[in-house]
Amino acid sequence: MKHLKFIFILIFIISILSSDLSITAVCEDNNTITVGYLDLQNFISTDKNGEYYGTGCEYLKEIAMYTGWNYRFEKVSIDTCIEKLRSGEIDLFTPIQKTSGRVSSCLYSKNYIIKGTPVLVTGVDSKYCFNDFENYSGMKIGYARSDICAESLREILSSNGCSVEYYEYDTTADVDKALRNGEIDSEIVDSYQCINNCRILLYLSDTYSYIVCDSSRSDLMNKLDYAMDEIIQNNPDIYDNFDKKYGTQNAGVYPSFTAQEKSFISSHKTICAHIDACDVCNSCQTTREEKLLDKISELTGLEFTVCKETADSDKISSSDADIILTVNHDYMWAKNNDMRLTNTFLNSPVYLVRKTNNNNIRKIAVVENSFLAFELSKRNDIELLYCKDDKSCIDMVFKSEADASYCSEFVRVAYSSLPRYHSLSFIQSYEYTNNYAIGISGQCDILLVSILNKTLSCISQNDIISIYSTDSFKPSLGPLDMIRSNPLMFTVIISVIAVIFVFAVLMTVFTVIIRRKNVELIRAVNAKQNFLSNISHELRTPVSAIIGLNEMQLASLDDIETVRDCADKIHTSSEHLISLINSVLDISRINSGKTVIETKPFDLKKTVMMIDTVYQQIAVKNKVRLITQCGIDSQTFVIGDELRLKEVIINLISNAVKYNKTNGTVKFIVSVLDTAADRISVRFEVSDTGIGIPEAQLEDIFKPFERGAQYTHSSIPGTGLGLAISEGLIKQMGSKLRAASIPDQGSLFWFELSFERCTVSDTSKNTQPGSKSSVSVAQIPDLSGLHILIAEDNEINRAIIRHLLIPTGCSYVFADNGRQACEMFEQSELYYYSSILMDIRMPEMDGYEASDKIRSLCRDDAKSVHIIALSANAFNEDIRASLSHGMNSHITKPVDKVLLYNELNKCRKI
């Protein structure tokens, strides 16, 4: 029995605990509400973090403040919502409109959660017009299955005799896609849906959407109704607040025009607009009103011509103006100025501007022809001072020329922030308000008023406020105003800018210098590499020939003919090598600027004819005809560098002959361009009928070692330095060597020089000491009886000189260096040595020092002994250096035996 009693008590306790647990579970379940919802933009939506937002979401949160509910959201279609409510899968569903079938199967909230204005919309470029029922027949209209507005639209269109086609889709997104793809002409949408790039054709009756639950959940609906009643009572503006926060704000909706309005737009493409000075600075008039006109033009297709001068409102009817911006929405003022007004598109408070603590207001500054000027003119207790803009009005108050003025909110924000105007007070006036509108000439068609009203209603308030506030009323400030605003920051900014500017300038200069240096360095390195590569090839060619021929000669000593042939070819290769070395040295000196252009008198006509005489034979040998035409009078003596001029001309003629065709022609033409008593300008040109040069290579032919691709590896001899030398010499003479060519037809080279005339020809000055122009001997001279001292340290050079002197019969002796040569001369008998052959570069004492020392010796023959310089230095300054050190002449190595014999012959005559 005791055991039964114990078991009974245990069962009782367990049942109580189970009951408590079940009650707790029920309470917990009742506290979490599953809300099914339609997927409508900005109603119940999720952001990228999965958080819910939107009008419906915020309304449900307000309800939770009175019910304590927690929510779990589930996206549900309109077709399955009733079934899910009955099965208990969801507790509430929203938004949903009332129909007879739905009302009988579920409970509706007493208050609506969202109000909508259904509209029939079409594409921006659609042919259909607003309320144009006559042309709606045949239109294809799409709507969503959940939308009950289709019936209302059917009734409206049917009553107006319109026969249209209807297409039903699963969702509003499908309908919108069909309209964009051209499957339908229009679609039904609600105002809370996002409407983009469309025009409204019809407005339907307002719709109301509610929250519903299953008909068996009256307790749930009672709590919901109670909470919604409390919300409306405590916050009557809740619907407006949600609409401002989540409404579409007319985004993407274009104004809907009737057929008559469309006709007006197409026939009145250009509207003349004046900008009034009301409530805006003169310097800002080109910003806000023109921005507003641009927006209107975008939405309507109308174009506006703007008069940027201040328009007098009372003259608008006679000034060809159609509209005026911006005016205050006052019918009496508009009537006095023969204007119509659009609806107010922006409201702005008016502020009284006065000096602080100045309550005695008698003189008021106002903008001329403004709304406030019109209103204040009715008062007899004040004096009006008319100004052209708001800045002038405020400045008059600031300077105490006026007691007060009035301005808009936008002007107040701009000027009250300036330290300069801190002495002014801006007090809101409740007597006046700026209600911005557009004035339309009374002579314009009334349709223009309707068009502008519709357009302004399609521009969101945010856009209008942005147009009328951002930089619209920004006053033109001078430097002092900006400094007053924040002197410390201004000083810091100026200092930073100055430092940055100086740094930027220095960095720019350094960067440019470094870049230029880098470019020059790269060019120099590339040029050096190319030069070394080319000169290596050119020098190795004759050297290789000499070495090879010498080996052949040594291997064929028994064959006299082979030895003689090799010797001749070695001689030819040696001359080519010397020519190449001289050319390389010439181009090097020209590039370094060390070449000196002589200024000596010479007969220009004689020089030209001498070149012709020499090259006639060469031309005949090459089977080429040389034609020389000289337009210079005989005995035309000029001052210049005859040697360099001949070098350039000979180079051009030599090239023309070498690269000509068999039986071709070379023309050497010298013509006078201009002549005067003291100067003569001459053009030298050489043309040929040869192989020519491609145009792409014309710019490169004056570079060292450039010979042209068509004959670089040909059998025609050449170093590729002649034109580079010629171009450098002509440039130093103050002119430019030019070229033109046509492949397979020939080439033309020309340059122009201006010479100074001279009356006396000193031809002796035109001959270099030791040059080949001296009298030459026909055979080896008899120099017996001459004693010659030779200062030469190189054994090979000694052997060569010995080879040249032995046949002449003279006696000679060698000195190893300049010091030994001086000692041998000083120890010799008076007048023993007839001549001294002096090398320049020698150990212990060079040739210059030795010559100076010999000339300074105290013996009679020291001044008269004939000293001949033997040197590999071949430039004019080298020759002058030898002469300046007391030498009689200069012979360049390798020694030309003709020159040597000529000089030694002079000693014999002495």
Specify the higher pLDDT residue, 537 or 431.
431
pLDDT of 787 reads 93
Other Cβ atoms closer than 10 A to 209: 22
> Closest by alpha carbon to 393, among 406, 411, 374?
406
> pLDDT, tens digit, for every residue of 660-701?
888 999 999 999 998 888 899 999 999 999 888 888 777 778
> pLDDT, tens digit, for every residue of 757-781?
887 644 444 444 444 433 344 478 8
In whole angstroms, give the CA distance from residue 256 to residue 265.
12
b/e per residue 618-631 (b: at least 16 CB within 10 A): ebeebebebebebe
SS3 620: helix
Task: Report yes or no: 848 and 812 within 8 Å, Cβ to Cβ.
Answer: no
Q: Is 391's pLDDT higher than 60?
A: yes
Segment holding 198, helix H or strand E: strand 198-203
Both tokens assigned to 798: 């000694």
In whole angstroms, give the CA distance from residue 741 to residue 727.
17
In whole angstroms, give the CA distance from residue 260 to residue 132.
10
DSSP string, 249-279: TTTTEEPP--HHHHHHHHH--EEEEEE--TT
pLDDT of 317 reads 45
> pLDDT, tens digit, for every residue of 455-475?
887 887 778 877 776 544 555
pLDDT of 668 reads 93
In whole angstroms, give the CA distance from residue 284 to residue 290.
10
> pLDDT, tens digit, for every residue of 53-97?
888 999 999 999 999 999 999 999 888 888 999 999 999 999 888
Give the pLDDT band of residue 852 (cuts 50, 70, 90): very high
Global model pTM greater than 0.75: no
In whole angstroms, give the CA distance from residue 361 to residue 368.
19
Task: Report yes or no: 22 and 28 within 8 Å, Cβ to Cβ.
Answer: no
Percent of the chain's residues with pLDDT above 70: 82
> pLDDT, tens digit, for every residue of 356-385?
777 888 999 998 877 788 888 888 889 999
pLDDT of 819 reads 94
In whole angstroms, give the CA distance from residue 801 to residue 904.
13
